[in-house]
Amino acid sequence: MGDKTDVWQGTLALMVLRTLESMGPQHGYGLARRIEQTSGDLLQLNYGTLYPALLKLEQEGYIKSSWGTSENNRKAKFYDLTKAGHRQLKRAAAEWEQTTAILARFLTPAEEA
């Protein structure tokens, strides 16, 4: 199972918000690498997926962006969590916890339930 998988639909926003909460402002490349690293390198993050998601999160007011200089001295857009983003992260995390608990009920063998 060494192949990387794509990010599941509906989870990218949660992963971005959580990464920004834990690491502070990040540029797109840094976010992508951190999400892949956190997954144990099991996820493959496509930039064609990441940047539209970042734009959508910014339009929704959950993140804000500003230009800065990356660690390799290049101009980069950095993203940071807003107060609304913190609230959305709590809501989304609670929804995913409930969803995974429901799915776990279906995946648990009958004799264990």
Question: To the nearest whole number, what is the mean pLDDT of the chain?
Answer: 90
- Say if residue 68's pLDDT is above 50: yes
User: Rounded mean pLDDT of 78-104?
Assistant: 95
SS3 labels along the chain: CCCCEECCCCCHHHHHHHHHHHHCCEEHHHHHHHHHHHCCCCEECCHHHHHHHHHHHHHCCCEEEEEEECCCCCEEEEEEECHHHHHHHHHHHHHHHHHHHHHHHHHCCCCCC
Task: Name the band, by pLDDT with cuts 50, 70 and 90, for residue 108.
Answer: confident
Domains of the chain listed by start with CATH number: 5-107 (1.10.10.10)
What are the tens digits of pLDDT across the range 6-53?
Answer: 667 678 999 999 999 999 999 999 999 999 999 999 988 888 889 999
pTM: 0.85
